[in-house]
Amino acid sequence: MTDDFASILSSERLQAGGSGPLYVKLRRTLEEAIRTGSLGHGDALPPERDIAEFATVSRVTVRKAIDELVSDGLLVRRHGSGTFVTKPVSRVEQRLSQLTSFTEDMARRGMTSRSEWLHKGIHTPSPDEMMILGLATDVKVSRLSRLRIADNQPLAIENASVSGEFLPDPFVVTTSLYAELERHQVRPVRAVQRISATNMKEEDARLLGVSVGAAGLSIERISYLGSGRAVEFTRSLYRGDAYDFVAELTIGTP
């Protein structure tokens, strides 16, 4: 039982929860906590047994309270895993200014995350790639494409292009492209990110499970070595209805 819950479920609060059966008071208390944000979207509730013990009621009573919140759509149960606060719109935030990892970010929201590879291959560079990566005519380019999935919902398509000089064999990449580059002592030190909005084309829409024309957040990133040489070029397309990009800015004093 977390400390947060100690205050949320304090017996005073439960008693003050108005009249009626125990499970109704408990439900109102939980509902209030969700609406006020004491329980954030994606947060896990403590185990039913813990709640029962803390509120000194039986587990069935706790379950009855939770039952109603589940049928109202405020909570979601996962057998063997826990009970979680639902997200009204499944919005995921990425905070650049914080050092939170993707896994932890998702875990904090009670979401599981994984990837599916769509493509790995060696290609003759497109004009775009040649220009951006500054390739000689005879150098090949490695392309890696994958679908990022959160809570079994496709969230984004990631297309990476890397110069063959830095990544001759794209098939060795398993989880992290950057980890693979690191293995060859290739270390980008700077990146430029370009964020724009675009309407989904048919194939992207199909992969992401949205309708054609839906708004998508396109993020293009080019990363550079200390020498100024471009290493990698990634085009990502995020579902506009499921992804927020959050940045914190500080104002310089002139």
Partner DNA sequence: TCTTACAATACCAAAAAAATACCATTTACC
Partner DNA sequence: GGTAAATGGTATTTTTTTGGTATTGTAAGA
- Please, which residues have CB within 8 angstroms of residue 82's CB and are 6 or more apart in sequence? 44, 45, 47, 110
d(CA 218, CA 220): 7
82 contacts which partner out of a copy of itself, DNA, none, CB within 5 to 8 A by kind? DNA
What CA–CA distances, in Å, run from 45 to 81, 99, 161? 11, 25, 42
In three-state secondary structure terms, 75 is strand
Q: CB nearer to DNA: give 60 or 191.
A: 60
How near is the Cβ of 101 to a copy of itself at its closest, in Å?
Answer: 4
Selected from 10, 147, 214, 229, the binder of a copy of itself by CB under 8 A is 214
Classify residue 237 by burial, with Cβ atoms within 10 Å: 0-12, 13-18, 19+: buried
Which positions touch DNA (CB under 7 A)?
Answer: 20-24, 45, 47-50, 57-61, 63-64, 77-83, 112
Q: How far is the CB of 91 from a copy of itself (least distance, A)?
A: 6
Site string for a copy of itself, 75-94 (x = CB under 8 A): xx-x-----x-xxxxxxxxx
Partner in contact with 144, chosen from DNA, a copy of itself, none, beta carbon below 5 to 8 Å by kind: none
| Long-range contacts from 119-123, C-beta under 8 angstroms, 24+ separation | 119/143, 119/144, 119/145, 120/144, 120/145, 120/170, 120/171, 120/173, 121/170, 122/164, 122/168, 122/169, 122/170
Binding residue for a copy of itself, selected from 4, 40, 102, 118, defined by CB under 8 A? 102
Q: Which is nearer to a copy of itself, 58 or 103 (CB)?
A: 103
Amino acid identity of 207? L
Residue in 6, 60, 136, 191 binding a copy of itself, rule: CB under 8 A: 191
In the range 31-70, which residues lie near a copy of itself by CB under 8 A?
Answer: 31, 35, 68-70
